[in-house]
Amino acid sequence: MENNRNFCIIAHIDHGKSTIADRLLERTGTITLREMKVNQVLDDMALEQERGITIKLHAIQMSYKANDKKTYTLNLIDTPGHVDFSYEVSRSLAACEGALLVVDASQGVEAQTISNLYLAIDAGLEIIPVINKIDLPSSMIESVKHQIMDLIGCREDEIILTSAKQKIGIDEILEAIVARIPAPKGDVDVPLRALIFDSIFDIYRGAVVYLRVFEGSLKEGDKVKFFANNKIFDAEEVGVLEMKRVRTGSLKAGDVGYLVAGVKDVHDTKVGDTITNADNPASERLPGYKEVKSMVFAGLYPTNADDFALLRDSLEKLQLNDAALIFEPETSSALGFGFRCGFLGLLHMEIVQERLEREYNQNLITTVPNVEYRVTTHKGDVVLVDNPALMPEIGDIERVEEPYIAAQIITPTEYIGNIMKLCTERRAIYKNTTYLDPTRADLRYEIPLSEIIFDFYDKLKSTTRGYASFDYDFLDYRESDLVKLDILLNSESVDALSTIVHRDKSYEWGKKLCARLRKLIPRQMFEVVIQAAIGSKIISRDTISAMRKNVIAKCYGGDISRKRKLLEKQKEGKKRMKQVGRVEIPQEAFLAVLSIEE
Amino acid sequence: MAGIYLHIPFCERKCIYCDFYSETNHKDHSVFVKFLLKEIELYSDYHNLEEIQTIYFGGGTPSLLHPLQISEIINAIQKLFKVNQQAEITLEVNPGTVDLQKLKEYKNSGINRLSIGVQSFNDDDLKFLSRIHSVADGLRCISDAKEAGFENIGIDLIYSLPTQTIESLLYNLQIAIDAKVNHISAYSLIVEEGTQLHQLVKNKSILMVDEAIETQMMDITIDGLKSAGFDHYEISNFAKPGYESKHNSNYWNHSNYLGFGPSAHSFWKNKRWWNIDTIFSYYSRLENNLLPISETENLNTEQLINEKFMLGLRSRGVDFKLLNEEFNHDYKLQFENLIHKLTSNQLASYENGHLRLTKSGIMIADEISRMFILRNSV
């Protein structure tokens, strides 16, 4: 145990986490250069590579012969790099004794780095500060050094300077891991307590649990129990995580490894849960477990109604690998049969959508995402509303509460004005500003979650030329003056277009939404009247005049086949439209709210 | 009821809007006639199947052929096929290629209907369209045709031209009506891919008339010709009673026809095929006694029905009684809601099982056709 070192890397996107990880794997001989066909081994999902982010957690074990001639087992536990996944990050951190804090020499400290750093400090991790990309001409090493020293109170000589690209400073990192990060502690002779920090689904083996043993030991043949659901399974295979899973038969306190126990459903292997021995159980679980809660909801519908069963199938398969995804069937008068899905955040939603489309070939219509509202009726009932169409009638509502977040924005000082303007538009409550150094500020706000799930992040990026970084945490539910805004097409309400907005914004919102829909819905054979309404009150109106001419003049012997094929092709295209009453609505219209400013 | 189409792929000059296949550098057409006759001969399987009611010389510019060549072709067809005594035999004529004498000779060769490509009675329009003739040529051609003894005369007009105004369109229609012809084809200008016009529009050298004006022009054309006694029997075709183009009506009725010459299309009993569209491969295939067919298409039931709706809605309507009988399925029932939607909005009329588009329906015929297209047909 004294030769184990468990650590993770905290870094902002593109600050070099994956490149440093690759260098460590290469330097310790875990992987040869030749094997490293694709750079950045840790991000192995195509989507992750494309987006330059790590979505799922992974872990890898390295063997390192240090300068003290002893051989150490290093477990690098990867962490997802996006705010949607902060709970998963916290569980990965909890599995470690130390963390590399990697900061880009040309960019400095970012909001996300800070929030994850605080999580690490809270978890009692030893922090090894690393400034990466020191070879870049635009690097500002001294300034970044000061930011880091202010942030974690370290000495200048504790900061390691690296260029992972140029292979500078890699040995220093490895030596620091061995020297500074404490060996894991924990009694081998007490009942087993192991922390699940991730699980994946293997079609042959079922759920594969990635875990860190804190106390006791785990060996094949043991009966194991999961605290969250009290379910008992047989430990079929136990081992460590090198480039592949390597079966070792047992793990003991301080080790990081995997467990296969015939678990068919990843929902039984919840991140943050504790595993113990069923025959000799620990009395308490490890601290920090939380049920993951969906923050953002949206309806997912098959474009072609016949594909409903296929979509359910795909969602079920996807869920095997993504325990954070929840869904249940719902119906919409506009869109037919579909699913209301809950996501950790907007990025998580986009990932699910893209994976359904790419990996499962689903053609989807997604409704505008929303948060979950807490509605109290006059009768005193509390209803949770995750679908605006299901909002109780105005007359029955006593009050509506919505989730608020605590937001942290780190920005060069010159953009503070722009950010304040943006935040004010989003009903944000200003809390305070601290200066990280004379050129960078850390702004704190409390913002309704619903205000950031549309396009807040994009707006923030564009108003600060990409320099600001953003992070948030769920805060609480607060009462707001919220109303349901309905959209009617030729007097028929389209449930999938309903949104919940703040009353002060509802008029402008309704007007913009009608105008946007007028652009998105093509002319039809008949006039289409678009109305926005709150309850029975119409607050805005727009009209799409009927199509007046759509006919090709010529159709002789040589034109017939071509023309028929064109019509058939158009018909296929129209299958992607949804028919509401007599009106054909293209898919994009259901996300009109998202593009309302265009 | 069957027709024969002959594609004569020669032009003096290519018009900027035209996407029909033609060659501009051939002076001697006798080789072509030789191969065309050979192709007709090769169709021996079809020679005695059905009586031929219509023969149509299209192009290209068929009036570049000498009347003797035309008569040679007609004679060959009459010899090989059963041709009805009263068959409609049409020749497309470019006013820049004929005089009175030549028209008389065409008459003698057996042509009994002319389709004259006058296109416009405004010289600016003709220049824009890069036609080889003037307004005067067009008017003279019409009167020469009458003098030559033709009674069944049609003219072509194109509207929605960038050079055109509402006034000049009205003037065009007036002259056309005054010319006392009994058939007018009036087309809204189409920018076809691969034409010079397409290129000009793409690089913005030419700005097409906007949709509202185009709609208005179509409206005016339909109203103007109807009030002058023409029956609007197809999107772009107008005829005095009894003078519809029988040949073209065959296309729209899904009747059988054979097409000869490069790029010509044939349709016979649910099967469609078309010829290769370069003249030298056409020659070489026939040289080797092979049919110069480029592609064949066997239409399934859905495709057939899709075409019946598309063509019927463009012309005299869809007869549900015939359709239901032929395909043993109640299409009236299947499309009941749509039919109701169309009739209640004055886009179509429905009487005695017959659905026909009104003027406002015709204006959006493609949109309406699409609604009748059956799924699973692709």
Question: Quick one: pLDDT at residue A33?
Answer: 58
Residue type for A488, please? L
Residues 6 or more apart whose Cβ sits within 8 Å of residue A90: A119, A123, A288
Q: Do A557 and B264 touch (CB under 8 A)?
A: yes
Q: Report H helices in A74-230.
A: 86-94, 111-122, 141-152, 170-180
DSSP label of B209: P
- Mean pLDDT, residues A288-304: 86
Q: How is residue B42 written in tokens?
A: 């090769």
Place of tokens 């505008």: A368
Q: For the residues B86-97, what does the mean pLDDT come to?
A: 97
To the nearest whole number, what is the mean pLDDT of chain B? 95
Given a cut of 90, is residue A270 above it in pLDDT?
Answer: no
Quick: pLDDT tens for A389-401: 999 998 899 999 9
**B364–A525 C-beta distance less than 8 A:** yes
**Chain B (159-198) residues lying within 8 Å, Cβ to Cβ, of chain A:** 187-190
What mean pLDDT comes out for the span A146-172?
93
Side-chain-facing half-sphere of B371: CA atoms under 13 Å: 21
Confidence of residue A81 (pLDDT cuts 50, 70, 90): low
CATH 1.10.10.920 placement within chain B: 301-376
Chain B nearest CA to A523, separation (Å): 10
Query: CA of A146, closest CA in chain B: separation in Å?
Result: 58
Mean pLDDT rounded to a whole number for chain A: 88
Q: Which residue has the tokens 């759509």?
A: A550
pLDDT (0 to 100) of residue A44:
47
Are B112 and B86 a contacting pair, CB within 8 Å?
no
Mean pLDDT of A165-190: 95
Q: How far apart are CA B327 and CA B301, in angstroms?
A: 8
Tokens of A427: 């009903």
On the question of a cis peptide bond just before residue B60, with omega within 30 degrees of 0, the verdict is: yes
| Res B375 pLDDT > 80 | no
CA of B101 vs chain A CAs: smallest distance (Å): 31
Asked whether the beta carbons of B81 and B32 are under 8 A apart, the reply is: no
pLDDT (0 to 100) of residue A209? 93
Check residue B93 and give its pLDDT: 98
Residue of A559, A562, A564, A566 to mutate, testing the B interface (most B Cβ within 10 Å of its Cβ):
A564
Nearest CB to B363 within list A549, A568, A575: A549
Contact yes or no for A552 and B366 at CB 8 A: yes
Contact B339, B361 (CB under 8 A): no
DSSP 3-state assignment of B198?
helix
Chain A residues with CB-CB distance to B363 below 8 A: 548-551
| Contacts B119 to A, Cβ<8 Å | none
For chain B, positions 258-297, list CB contacts with chain A under 8 A. Answer: 259, 263-267, 272, 274, 297
Residue among A525, A564, A582 whose CB faces B367 most closely: A525
Residues A88 and A227: their CA atoms lie apart, in Å, by: 18
Supply the pLDDT for residue A11. Answer: 87
B222 touches chain A (CB under 8 A): no
CATH 3.20.20.70 residue ranges of chain B are: 2-251
Of A550, A552, A558, the CB nearest to B265: A558
Interval B251-289: pLDDT, tens: 999 999 999 999 999 999 999 999 999 999 999 999 999
- Residue B245: closest C-alpha in chain A: A556
**In angstroms, what CA-CA distances link B42 with B36, B80, B256, B260?**
10, 10, 18, 11
CA atoms of A303 and B218, how far apart (whole Å): 37
Residue among A547, A549, A557 whose CB faces B257 most closely: A557
Q: What ranges make up the beta strands (E) of A203-349?
A: 206-215, 217-219, 223-226, 232-234, 237-241, 245-247, 250-252, 256-260, 274-277, 296-302, 326-332, 336-343
| pLDDT for A79 | 78
- Taking the domain B2-251, which CATH number applies? 3.20.20.70
* pLDDT average, residue stretch B311-332: 95
Beta strand A223-226 with A217-219: parallel, antiparallel or unpaired?
unpaired
| pLDDT (0 to 100) of residue B314 | 96
Give the C-alpha separation, A415 to B297, whole Å. 65
Average pLDDT over residues B341-357: 94
Q: Do A552 and B190 touch (CB under 8 A)?
A: yes
With a CB cutoff of 8 Å and minimum separation 6, the contacts of A215 are A186, A187, A188, A190, A191, A192, A193, A253, A282
- Give the integer Cα–Cα distance in Å for A367 and A301: 8
- A306 in contact with B, Cβ within 8 Å: no
Label residue A34 by pLDDT band (50, 70, 90).
low
Residue from A524, A526, A555 to probe the interface with B (highest B Cβ count within 10 Å): A555
Q: Is the pLDDT of residue A49 over 60?
A: no
From the list A551, A553, A558, the residue facing B263 with the nearest CB is: A558
Spatial separation of the C-alpha atoms in residues A73 and A5, rounded to whole Å: 6
Q: What's the gap in Å between the CA of A565 and the closest CA on chain B?
A: 8
pLDDT at site A82: 62
* A527 reaches B (C-beta below 8 A): no
Q: Which fold has domain B301-376?
A: Arc Repressor Mutant, subunit A (1.10.10)
For residue range A412-433, list pLDDT tens digits in order: 899 999 999 999 999 999 999 9
Lowest mean pLDDT among A94-98, A244-248, A338-342: A244-248
pLDDT value at residue A293: 80
Is a pLDDT exceeding 70 seen at residue A83? no
Q: Does A54 have pLDDT greater than 50?
A: no
CA nearest to A4, candidates A209, A212, A203: A212
Burial, A383: exposed, middle or buried (Cβ in 10 Å; 0-12, 13-18, 19+)? middle
Predicted pLDDT of residue A210: 93
Rounded to the nearest angstrom, the gap between the alpha carbon of residue A153 and the centroid of all alpha carbons in its chain is 31
- Rg of chain B's alpha carbons, rounded to an integer? 21
Contacts B215 to A, Cβ<8 Å: 548-549
The amino acid at B52 = I
DSSP states of A476-503? EEEEE-EEEEEEEETTEE-GGG-EEEEH
Can you tell me the distance from the alpha carbon of A266 to that of A317, in angstroms, rounded to the nearest whole number? 11
Split at pLDDT 50, 70, 90, the class of A43 is very low
Rounded to 10 degrees, the C-alpha dihedral A493/A499/A503/A506 comes to -70
Q: Looking at chain B, which residue has its C-alpha nearest residue A524?
A: B367
Which DSSP helix (H) or strand (E) runs through A518?
A: helix A503-520
The region of weakest confidence among A18-22, A29-33, A391-395, B218-222 is A29-33
Q: Position of tokens 């110069």?
A: B292
Sheet of B293-298, strands arranged across: B231-234, B237-239, B183-188, B152-159, B113-119, B83-93, B52-59, B2-8, B256-260, B265-268, B271-275, B293-298
pLDDT band (50, 70, 90) for residue A58: confident
pLDDT score for A39? 47
CB spacing of A550 vs B363 below 8 angstroms? yes
Of the candidate ranges A51-65, A121-135, A168-182, A230-244, the one whose mean pLDDT is the lowest: A51-65
Percent of chain A with pLDDT over 90: 57
How far CA B54 is from CA of A236, A415, B34, B251, in Å, comes to 84, 79, 22, 11
B59-65 average pLDDT score: 96
Contact between residue A101 and residue A152 where contact means Cβ atoms under 8 Å apart: yes
Identify whether the C-beta of residue A259 lies closer than 8 Å to the C-beta of residue A211.
Answer: yes
> How confident is the model at residue A198, as a pLDDT?
86
Contacts of B212 in chain A (CB under 8 A): 548
* Banded pLDDT at A32 (limits 50, 70, 90): low
pLDDT at A57: 40
Query: Does the distance separating the beta carbons of B187 and A558 come in below 8 Å?
Result: no
* DSSP state letters, A324-371: T-EEEEEEETTTEEEEEEEESSHHHHHHHHHHHHHTS---EEEPPPB-
A551/B190 Cβ within 8 A = no
A38 has pLDDT over 50 = no
Query: How many other CB atoms are found less than 10 A from the CB of residue B193?
Result: 9
Q: Are strands B83-93 and B113-119 parallel, antiparallel or unpaired?
A: parallel
The ipTM value here is 0.93
Inform me whether the pLDDT recorded for A570 exceeds 90. Answer: no
Instruction: Outline where chain B has alpha helix (H).
Output: 30-42, 67-80, 100-109, 123-128, 135-147, 166-178, 196-202, 211-227, 246-252, 279-287, 301-314, 320-327, 331-334, 336-344, 359-363, 365-372
Percent of chain B with pLDDT over 90: 93
Least CB–CB distance from A564: residue in B235, B303, B367: B303
- What average pLDDT does range B307-320 have in this prediction? 96
Q: Inter-chain contact A549–B265, Cβ cutoff 8 Å?
A: no
Asked whether the beta carbons of residue A567 and residue B370 sit closer than 8 angstroms, the reply is yes
What percent of chain A has a predicted confidence (pLDDT) above 70? 94
User: Helices B211-227 and B166-178 sit at what angle, rounded to 10 degrees?
Assistant: 20
Is pLDDT above 60 for A338? yes
Does B257 contact A526 at a Cβ distance shorter than 8 Å?
no
